[in-house]
Amino acid sequence: MVSGDRISRRKALKAISNVAAAGAIVGAGVVGAIGGFMAGSTTGGAQQTVTETRTREVTKTVTATKTVTAGAPTGGNPIKIGFEVHRTGIGAVYGKWYERTTVAAVNLINEMGGIDGRPIELVIEDDGTDPQRGAQVVEKFALEHKVDFILGALFSNVVLAAAPRAGELKIPYFAVSEGYHVPSGKLNRYSFQPGITDVRSQTQAVAGWIVENLGKKITMVFPDYAFGYDHRDWFGKAARDLGGEILELIPIPPTETTFTKYFPKVPADTEVLYHVMVGPAVLTFVKEMGEFFGSKRPEIFGFIDSLEGVAIDSPGLEFLEGTYFWEAFPRYLDGYDTPYHRFFREKVGVDENGADVNDPKSVATYSHMFSCWETLFIIKETVEQSGYTRRSPEDYRAFIETLENFRWFNEGNQHPQGAKLFNGRLHQGFGQQFISRVENGRLKTVYRTKIEDSVYESDVDYTKQPL
């Protein structure tokens, strides 16, 4: 599914001159744009404008320099984006990679000439993966730093505490979480999640393949809180609709550290064990599962969340050989080798195996972090098309209405994971999903879902809410 197949249906093409800069509406444009980006990033040492200073205000500010692409206006007062990140607390592994991806995307945008000719000023705050701190960070962004937009959190509890505050303060908040909070209608007109598919559609997209290829009698293991319930409810529904049968549900509390005791609950006639875990103990979970079942295991299908940030060839994971994982974006480059994907990997600094180019032990949270990158480009495109200039009710209205009218974000350097179908009523984006098999201690992608597989009907309509 390449972007060339798609015809842009966006309505608001009011700033045609920006289209070229925004790049990549049709395939040819993308290739040209890549050349442009590459050139932009190699001329001069300007990419070093990102200073790793740890001062509070503008932690990572990049100003548009002489190296920006010709034709793009320079200077102008910056567009401020507040980035709420889990630097500490249980989300810290994700936070590290989210920050890295975000900084890479901001650098790139600024090298390209910024947003509408204005550089992005990124203001980063740690929320400690703590909901109360998360809400406080939103206040800080809105009231003290006076940012234009907020790039939001990953962990659902933080998003759920922070997004309503952003709504009250009337500032657009972009979740990068995959949680089913935005499209469920729990949040507000100011909350968006365009950059990553939500759990409900992820599970729906892979259910058919599982029932067809692995088996119909399924036992589910999932975290005992809302994120897990989304899996339970939506995967369960999708699987049953397709003739599958859920034999047993095994919720595991998020604080758990040993898991062997849960496995006796798996019925003997289980054909597929479906697992999704989060948190630091995921590796133990997978290992103990292996020890317990040995060679007598059922087919195993997991969400890569169970092993995000963990090397597949870690000691004790040998038994994973031959099991399957959902991925949003293949950790190993060859799973989806496109020029855009290569470009993204290079810019973020991830090697072919999904680890830090400088430290092969540091494995990226690859199936989630692209959302920061893609969301930033969506903000850029929306600003440019809506004519947003400053923090005012009118400009925010234009921004939000323009975003709500988007239908497609095409594949390209801006959207390396693939095209996104955007539902403006749900404020949610939908993309393709990947299924990979563990072979020789690495993940090999075996199936790619269609975007249509992810789409569901819903009554939620944020556009009816007042601004």
Least Å distance between CB 178 and other proteins? 13
C-beta of 75 vs 253, nearer to other proteins: 253
Least Å distance between CB 353 and other proteins? 16
C-beta of 35 vs 316, nearer to other proteins: 316
Least Å distance between CB 48 and other proteins? 22
Least Å distance between CB 197 and other proteins? 19
C-beta of 310 vs 446, nearer to other proteins: 310
Least Å distance between CB 256 and other proteins? 6
In the block, residue with structure tokens 């980063």: 124
Q: Are the beta carbons of 104 and 373 closer than 8 angstroms?
A: yes
3-class state of residue 228 by DSSP: helix
Q: Are the beta carbons of 155 and 86 closer than 8 angstroms?
A: yes
C-beta of 149 vs 406, nearer to other proteins: 149
Q: How far apart are the first and last CA of the chain?
A: 36
> DSSP string of 372-404?
HHHHHHHHHHHHHHHT--SSSHHHHHHHHHHHH
In the block, residue with structure tokens 């997209």: 205
The DSSP secondary-structure symbol of 118 reads B
- CA 460/CA 467 separation, integer angstroms: 16
Amino acid identity for residue 248 in this structure: E
C-beta of 292 vs 447, nearer to other proteins: 292
Residues 6+ apart with CB under 8 A from 156: 177, 179, 181, 226, 227
C-beta of 207 vs 311, nearer to other proteins: 311
Least Å distance between CB 260 and other proteins? 5
In the block, residue with structure tokens 């190699």: 42
Least Å distance between CB 32 and other proteins? 39
- CA 231/CA 409 separation, integer angstroms: 26
- CA 193/CA 172 separation, integer angstroms: 11
C-beta of 32 vs 280, nearer to other proteins: 280
